[in-house]
Amino acid sequence: MSLRAGSTVGESGGVVSGISTVIYHENYDSITLDDIAVVQPSEPFPMGPNIQIVNLPSKFGYEAPSGLPVTVVGWGLDGDGNRPEQLQKVDLSVGKTSICKDIFADYNPVTESMMCAGAINKSPCNGDSGSPLVFGSVQVGIASWWDENCEYPQAVYTSVGFLRLWIQNKIRD
């Protein structure tokens, strides 16, 4: 595996680095729990106009408020089921956890380490797992799972604020 930064074109441009370390959360389960890992590149990426740092929420346990405007970017399938050549983005809003729990009650549990975001006919899709959900320069979530209909009004994200202490501890190790 390798990491690419500084390009919005699939498999070209930017800077590529190998991976020296991957640390999965101890409670990781691809569907229901703590869908998060810390990945360390073999060499640091050079900061510049096309490569910027994304910040963690400033407080441990931060919960993104319902209605917060957020953006998810990724390489998942587009609305026609095709893999895009350009990085895709969609603007969403953070959803109410209680409504999200009701929506997915028959699918999977939405736990305290998760959050939801969505918009009508806008959602991550197959291939977007692990994509960042950001508010400005702050990453509030990580695309985790959703209904197989990629235009479902809500998707579930790992809450970066909830797991901030775990992230900080792994970065220090």
* DSSP, residue by residue, 30-55: TTTB---EEEEESSPPPPBTTB-PPB
Reported as a single tens digit per residue, the pLDDT across 59-99 is: 888 999 999 999 999 999 887 888 999 999 999 999 999 99
Q: What is the pLDDT of residue 31?
A: 66
C-alpha dihedral, 47 to 48 to 49 to 54, nearest 10°: 10
Q: Mean of the per-residue pLDDT values for the chain?
A: 91
Q: What are phi and psi of 170, to 5 degrees?
A: -75, -35
The rounded distance, in Å, linking the Cα atoms of 64 and 70 is 10
Show the domains of the chain with their CATH numbers.
Answer: 2-52+164-172 (2.40.10.10), 69-159 (2.40.10.10)
The rounded distance, in Å, linking the Cα atoms of 173 and 169 is 6
Per-residue confidence band for 172, with pLDDT thresholds at 50, 70 and 90? confident
In one-letter notation, the amino acid at residue 92 is L
Reading the block at residue 128, the tokens are 């977007």
In one-letter notation, the amino acid at residue 109 is P
Whether the CB-CB separation of 20 and 40 falls below 8 Å is answered with yes
| Statement: residue 163 has pLDDT above 80 | yes
